[in-house]
């Protein structure tokens, strides 16, 4: 009951002028609905502070660690140095992209009325992420594969937020 009240309050905030367009744009992606979009938006803040998708990935701690010495470079697991709450949300959302990309009635309804650039990014993400998971899953553990998908998913989120209109503050 209390959770329903909180969900209703989050929905109300999501419909406010400062969040509505960006939340609707993020909801075009598979695996993101209002709660996930609001969580990501509140953790990211202003997307303009990240000059590239790689900077946003580093903020979430989704970049590989590296041990370098001279000419040798060894990449390891993700750094986990960033925002752990947002990283967990991203990984959860990425699990929805493991299955084959297909037309989904609910997702198509969420995409209606959105700018064509945002829908194109969302469609590209849907196809690319499912393909990436399948390729990695064949030779890696599913959790490793989904973390790689979450990293790439983060790049698509950056692209959509760059395209979505920013609220005037």
Per residue in 14-44, pLDDT (tens digit) is: 999 999 999 999 999 999 999 999 999 999 9
What is the residue extent of each domain of the chain?
19-45+84-163
Q: What is the pLDDT of residue 78?
A: 81
* Under 8 Å between Cβ of 122 and 103: no
Q: pLDDT for 51-78, tens place per residue?
A: 999 999 999 999 888 788 888 877 777 8
From the number of C-beta atoms within 10 Å of its C-beta (0-12, 13-18, 19+), residue 3 rates as: exposed
24 or 1: which leads in pLDDT: 24
3 state SS of 74: strand
- Condensed to tens digits (0 to 9), the pLDDT of residues 71-105 reads 887 777 787 788 889 999 999 999 998 888 776 78
CB neighbours of residue 5 within 10 Å? 9
Q: How far apart are CA 124 and CA 129, in angstroms?
A: 8
Range with the lowest mean pLDDT among 40-49, 97-106, 111-120? 97-106
pLDDT value at position 70?
A: 81
* Sign of torsion over alpha carbons 140, 144, 145, 151: negative
Q: What is the pLDDT of residues 146-157, one digit of tens each?
A: 999 999 999 999
32 secondary structure, DSSP code: -
**Looking at the predicted structure, is the pLDDT value of residue 11 above 90?**
yes
pLDDT band at 112 (very low <50, low <70, confident <90, very high): very high
pLDDT recorded at residue 79: 79
């Amino acid at each position: 009951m209390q959770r329903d009240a909180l969900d209703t309050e989050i929905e109300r905030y999501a419909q406010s002028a400062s969040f509505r367009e960006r939340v609707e744009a993020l909801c075009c992606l598979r695996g993101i609905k209002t709660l996930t979009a609001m969580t990501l938006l509140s953790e990211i803040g202003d997307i303009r502070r990240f000059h590239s998708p790689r900077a946003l990935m580093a903020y979430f701690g989704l970049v590989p660690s590296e041990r370098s010495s001279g000419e040798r470079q060894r990449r390891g697991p993700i750094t986990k140095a960033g925002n752990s709450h947002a990283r967990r949300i991203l990984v959860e959302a990425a699990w929805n992209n493991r299955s084959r990309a297909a037309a989904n009635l609910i997702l198509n309804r969420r995409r209606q009325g959105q700018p064509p650039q945002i829908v194109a990014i969302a469609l590209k993400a849907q196809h690319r992420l499912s393909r990436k998971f399948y390729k990695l899953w064949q030779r890696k553990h599913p959790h490793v594969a989904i973390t790689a998908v979450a990293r790439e998913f983060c790049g698509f989120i950056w692209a959509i937020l760059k395209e979505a209109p920013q609220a005037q503050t």
